């Protein structure tokens, strides 16, 4: 807990649904520092200017999907740890497989998420990335 | 001239001796017998004729004797009785006939007169008798009497015959009449005068035909009769006359002249006339009938000939057999079929003479059975033709009965060679069986196809549902996420807010209000009150949004799910398309912009909303796929419009478009350009059929590389016939 107390992890959540973004932030704003992005493009901009401990992204988004975003991140930031979680209502298994293999996806979670489960996964993913 | 007997004959006086002697000679020469008898009937005198009568030559031989001495007793007694009566009564016996038997035994007849002799005192002392032999006269008289009787009898007979004849003639229905030389009626029978309306022949005697018939007619009759009488020959002729009622009358007449038997001169005529009007009528009818009969008989004969010809030319075997199954008759086909050259050849023979024994026996047994039961036979029979080749016959045998006794006396048979027919029938049956089997196979195949089709339609549906599922899962999970996670976060936010709210409750009763407010203010900062409060408001909105979204998706899904039997409904096309878009959102939202150009106040249309949704789903899916196949981004324009009767929906994409080849096939079932697993190629075929169900039209404008436009036209109102 001391670590938590020392500094809150920065988590970037990308989803084209504003409601999703808001509910996520309401739920986790106490434990984590939450950054929100309405699109993949916006997320890329935030990544450029912030140190992000964990990226959580939706898959089905207009213009750039979650997987495409991961691809973009790998291209832009080849060396950052694989702290990436996908949070999606649905995704094509092929796309997800690609994300795991190529884009260092840590976990895929289906909507709707459970608060405790997601919280534990966030911490687990960050710690796994930091090792 | 009869000789008078001598009267007052007395013994001659001596004075008159000479005259007595003369008298004596005279008396003896008289051919009559003369005698005198006393009261005892003893002869006291007699002449020679008398003596001769008794066979004596001398008269003296008679004297003193009586008739008893010379005659048969019976005759003598009769004479004696007469004489004694004379003596007693004194009456003369005048001209009495007496029979006498002559000495020669001859029966003679004498007419005798006996006169009493009186003495001067008047006392009768004897008698004088004179008898004349009238034997010849008597016999002549007898003959005469007999002849007269015969004549009388004859007259009676003649009279009888005459009456018979008259009765006969009167009762003859023919007219019989006698006319004189001038054709005047002399006599006639009843029929005759009745025909002239006369009561008796007397009433019309002296009249003639002129008095009864039209002058022309009568004149003709009379002229004919005159000619006949002049010629003296009898004539038979048919005469035509007129009945009193004016109708024609036909008479058959024979007229014969009557001649004076002495002079041979024609003095009249006798006519016999028969009214043959009725006879003529009957005869005419008879002739007509006979002619009709003759005609009918000719017709019958003709028909019989026709029949015979027909029977002979029938290509069936027709034959007659007797009780012993011997041939009586048969048509040409029959005897020729047996190998005979004439009918006569086969008569009296049987099947045994022509057919193999086994076959002939079978026929014979059948026929025996039929004769016994009287039941006709109709069956197929195996036989052989005259060349020994097996044939199949269809045979009908019908008993013939004696019309009077009703006994079966034979039968008529008709056999048809159905060998070929049977063969054809077998072939046909086989073909029929084959056909039946093929039909069953086809039916089975069809059933399989139908099953396959059902499966395919189902799998097409499943495929599109599969495509949907991805989107729907995402689309539904997002709002569920708002709701689910939102509620959780609200709980936390509320906890934060609750601390402040509870602290605020204590504010009113706090002693040091300033401190309390300060604490509250601090608490508000540390407990993220503002954040929580703000979050609460937002989360509430998000939850509501989530709930609404879920409701919409479920509504869209339920529309889509009603694909089975559904009723006509009035539906809003815009809302239908929107539901489809909700379901498809996941498929297009990342890269396709949907532009809706909905016309305001578009009329609601009568449709099957579920089916129509599937149609729009298919068109929109294809549009999305067409864009996906071409580029990362794309546009779909959905435009609606309407006129009085029709709503038009245009769905236009800027995807790949179609080649002409593809364009031609897109409605073909199982035609697909997609990879395996993404539908079986029934999507647009089903869509087409759905539009047809709505009596709508679908037009496709496309060009390769530039995208496609699907134009769907739907009637606003369905005709009753279509809805039925």
Domain boundaries, given as residue ranges, for chain B: 14-133, 172-275, 314-417, 442-547, 567-723
Interface touch A22/B545, C-beta < 8 Å: no
Q: What is the mean pLDDT of chain A?
A: 81
Compare all CA atoms of chain A with the CA of B543 and give the residue at the minimum distance: A19
Residues in B 577-616 with any Cβ partner in A closer than 8 A: 586, 589-591
Report the residue from B474, B545, B589 with minimal CB separation from A62: B589
Q: Which of B477, B485, B535, B537 to mutate to test the interface with A (most CBs of A within 10 A)?
A: B485
CATH architecture of B172-275: 2-Layer Sandwich (3.30)
Strand locations in B82-213 (E): 93-101, 107-118, 124-133, 175-180, 185-188
**Residue range B351-383, pLDDT digits in tens:** 999 999 999 999 999 999 998 898 999 998 888
**Residue B9, pLDDT above cutoff 60:** no
In the predicted model, what is the mean pLDDT of residues B167-176? 84
| pLDDT value at residue A62 | 79
Strands B327-330, B317-322: pairing kind = antiparallel
| pLDDT value at residue B467 | 61
**Residue B103, pLDDT above cutoff 70:** yes
| pLDDT value at residue B678 | 57
In the predicted model, what is the mean pLDDT of residues A53-71? 85
d(CA A27, CA A115): 7
| pLDDT value at residue B712 | 94
Q: What is the CATH number of the domain that holds A114?
A: 3.40.50.2300
d(CA B103, CA B98): 16
pLDDT band at residue B637 using 50, 70 and 90 as cut-offs: very high
**Residue A14, pLDDT above cutoff 70:** yes
d(CA A28, CA A108): 19
In the predicted model, what is the mean pLDDT of residues B414-419? 88
Residue identified by tokens 């001859």 is B106
* Host domain of residue A44: 2-130
pLDDT band at residue A2 using 50, 70 and 90 as cut-offs: very low
Instruction: Average the pLDDT over each of B195-209, B235-249, B418-432 and give the range with the smallest value.
Output: B235-249
- β-bridge partners, B188: B177
Compare all CA atoms of chain B with the CA of A15 and give the residue at the minimum distance: B478
**Residue range B129-139, pLDDT digits in tens:** 988 888 888 78
- Tokens of residue B330, six digits: 């048969």
CA torsion, points B671, B673, B677, B682, in degrees to nearest 10? Answer: -30
Higher-pLDDT residue of B690, B528 = B690
**Residue range B486-506, pLDDT digits in tens:** 888 888 888 888 888 888 888
Report the residue from B470, B492, B591 with minimal CB separation from A90: B470
**Residue A63, pLDDT above cutoff 60:** yes
- Tokens of residue B352, six digits: 């045994």
Higher-pLDDT residue of A102, A29 = A29
CATH class for domain B567-723? alpha beta
Sign of CA dihedral A15, A21, A27, A33: positive
| pLDDT value at residue B462 | 61
Q: Which of A27, A87, A108, A119 to mutate to test the interface with B (most CBs of B within 10 A)?
A: A27
pLDDT band at residue B574 using 50, 70 and 90 as cut-offs: very high
Residue B225 phi/psi, 5-degree rounding, is: -70, -40
Higher-pLDDT residue of A103, B140 = B140
**Residue B95, pLDDT above cutoff 90:** no
Strand locations in A72-120 (E): 84-88, 105-110
**Residue B438, pLDDT above cutoff 50:** yes
| pLDDT value at residue B349 | 92
**Chain B: nearest CA to A124, how far in angstroms?**
20
For chain A, the domain total comes to 1
**Residue B195, pLDDT above cutoff 50:** yes
- Tokens of residue A44, six digits: 């890329």
Which residues of chain A have a CB within 8 Å of the CB of B546? 19
| pLDDT value at residue B143 | 86
What CATH number was assigned to the domain covering residues B314-417? 3.30.450.20
Fold of B14-133: Beta-Lactamase (3.30.450)
Q: Which helix (H) or strand (E) segment is B526 a member of?
A: helix B513-526
Number of H helices, E strands in chain B: 18, 22
| pLDDT value at residue B3 | 45
The ipTM estimated for the assembled molecules is 0.79
Question: Number of Cβ pairs closer than 8 Å across A and B?
Answer: 87
Instruction: Please say whether the beta carbons of B374 and B408 come within 8 A.
Output: yes
Compare all CA atoms of chain B with the CA of A40 and give the residue at the minimum distance: B590
How many C-beta neighbours within 10 Å does residue B339 have? 12
From residue B507, alpha-carbon distances to B530, B537, B666 in Å are 19, 25, 77
Q: What is the mean pLDDT of chain B?
A: 84
Interface touch A26/B492, C-beta < 8 Å: yes
Compare all CA atoms of chain A with the CA of B476 and give the residue at the minimum distance: A89
**Residue A9, pLDDT above cutoff 50:** yes
Compare all CA atoms of chain A with the CA of B475 and give the residue at the minimum distance: A89
**Residue range B277-326, pLDDT digits in tens:** 888 888 888 888 888 888 888 888 888 888 888 888 888 899 999 988 99
Same CATH topology for B14-133 and B314-417: the answer is yes
| pLDDT value at residue A3 | 44
Q: Which residues of A58-83 are buried (b: 16+ CB within 10 A; e: fewer)?
A: bbbbeebbbbbbbbbbeeeeeebbbb
Q: Collect all residues from A whose CB is shorter than 8 A from any CB in B.
A: 16-17, 19-20, 22-27, 29-30, 60-63, 65, 88-90, 92, 110-113, 115
């Amino acid at each position: 807990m001391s670590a938590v107390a020392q500094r809150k992890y920065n988590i970037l959540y990308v989803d084209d649904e504003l409601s999703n973004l808001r509910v996520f932030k309401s739920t986790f704003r106490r434990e984590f520092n939450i950054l929100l992005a309405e699109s993949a493009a916006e997320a890329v901009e935030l990544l450029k200017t912030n140190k992000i401990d964990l990226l959580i992204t939706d898959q089905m988004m207009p213009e750039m999907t979650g997987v495409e975003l991961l691809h973009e991140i790998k291209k832009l930031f080849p060396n950052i740890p694989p702290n990436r979680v996908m949070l999606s209502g649905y995704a094509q298994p092929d796309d997800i497989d690609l994300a795991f293999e190529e884009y260092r996806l840590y976990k895929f979670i289906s909507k709707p998420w459970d608060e405790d489960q997601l919280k534990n996964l966030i911490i687990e993913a960050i710690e796994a990335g930091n090792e | 001239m009869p000789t008078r007997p001598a009267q007052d004959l007395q013994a001659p006086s001596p004075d008159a001796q000479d005259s007595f002697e003369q008298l004596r000679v005279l008396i003896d020469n008289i051919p009559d017998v003369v005698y005198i008898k006393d009261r005892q009937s003893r002869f006291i005198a007699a002449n020679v004729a008398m003596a001769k009568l008794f066979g004596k030559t001398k008269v003296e031989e008679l004297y003193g004797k009586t008739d008893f001495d010379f005659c048969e007793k019976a005759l003598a007694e009769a004479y004696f009785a007469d004489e004694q009566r004379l003596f007693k009564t004194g009456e003369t016996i005048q001209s009495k006939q007496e029979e006498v038997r002559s000495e020669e035994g001859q029966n003679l007849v004498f007419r005798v007169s006996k006169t009493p002799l009186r003495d001067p005192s008047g006392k009768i002392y004897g008698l004088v008798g004179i008898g004349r032999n009238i034997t010849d006269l008597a016999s002549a008289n007898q003959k005469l009497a007999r002849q007269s009787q015969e004549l009388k009898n004859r007259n009676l007979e003649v009279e009888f015959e005459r009456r018979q004849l008259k009765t006969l003639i009167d009762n003859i229905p023919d007219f019989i009449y006698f006319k004189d030389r001038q054709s005047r009626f002399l006599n006639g029978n009843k029929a005759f005068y009745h025909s002239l309306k006369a009561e008796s022949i007397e009433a019309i005697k002296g009249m003639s035909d002129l008095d009864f018939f039209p002058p022309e007619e009568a004149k003709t009759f009379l002229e004919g009769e005159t000619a006949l009488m002049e010629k003296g020959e009898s004539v038979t002729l048919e005469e035509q006359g007129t009945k009193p009622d004016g109708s024609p009358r036909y008479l058959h007449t024979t007229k014969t002249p009557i001649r004076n038997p002495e002079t041979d001169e024609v003095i009249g005529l006798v006519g016999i006339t028969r009214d043959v009007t009725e006879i003529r009528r009957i005869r005419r009818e008879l002739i007509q009938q006979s002619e009709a009969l003759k005609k009918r008989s000719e017709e019958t004969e003709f028909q019989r000939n026709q029949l015979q010809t027909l029977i002979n030319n029938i290509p069936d075997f027709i034959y007659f057999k007797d009780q012993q199954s011997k041939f009586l008759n048969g048509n040409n086909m029959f005897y020729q079929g047996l190998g005979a050259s004439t009918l006569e050849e086969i008569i009296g023979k049987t099947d045994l003479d022509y057919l193999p024994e086994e076959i002939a026996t079978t026929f014979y047994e059948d026929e025996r059975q039929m004769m016994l039961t009287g039941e006709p036979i109709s069956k197929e029979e195996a036989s052989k033709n005259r060349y020994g080749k097996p044939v199949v016959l269809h045979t009908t045998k019908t008993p013939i009965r004696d019309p009077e006794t009703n006994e079966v006396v034979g039968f008529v048979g008709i056999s048809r060679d159905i060998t070929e027919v049977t063969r054809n029938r077998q072939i046909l049956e086989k073909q029929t069986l084959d056909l039946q089997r093929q039909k069953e196979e086809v039916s089975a195949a069809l059933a399989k196809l139908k099953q396959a089709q059902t499966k395919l339609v189902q799998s097409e549906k499943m495929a599109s549902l599969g495509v949907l599922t991805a989107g729907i899962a995402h689309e539904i999970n997002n709002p569920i996420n708002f709701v689910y996670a939102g509620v959780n976060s609200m709980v936390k936010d509320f906890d934060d807010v609750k601390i402040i709210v509870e602290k605020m409750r204590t504010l009113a009763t706090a002693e040091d209000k300033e401190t309390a407010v300060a604490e509250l203010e601090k608490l508000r900062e540390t407990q993220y009150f503002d954040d929580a409060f703000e979050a609460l408001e937002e989360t509430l909105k998000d939850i509501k949004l989530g709930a609404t979204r879920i409701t919409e998706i479920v509504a869209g899904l339920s529309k889509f799910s009603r694909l089975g039997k559904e009723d006509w409904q009035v539906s809003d096309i815009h809302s239908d398309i929107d539901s489809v878009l909700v379901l498809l959102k996941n498929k297009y939202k990342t890269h396709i912009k949907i532009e809706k150009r909905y016309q305001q106040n578009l009329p609601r249309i009568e449709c099957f909303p579920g089916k129509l949704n599937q149609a729009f789903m298919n068109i929109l899916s294809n549009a999305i796929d067409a864009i996906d196949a071409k580029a990362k981004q794309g546009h779909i324009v959905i435009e609606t419009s309407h006129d009085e009767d029709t709503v038009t929906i245009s769905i236009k994409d800027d995807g790949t478009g179609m080649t002409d080849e593809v364009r031609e096939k897109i409605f073909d079932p199982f035609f697909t350009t997609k990879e395996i697993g993404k539908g079986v190629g029934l999507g647009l075929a089903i869509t087409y059929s759905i539009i047809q169900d709505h009596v709508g039209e679908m037009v496709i404008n496309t060009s390769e590389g530039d995208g496609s436009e699907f134009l769907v036209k739907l009637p606003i109102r369905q005709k009753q016939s279509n809805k039925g």
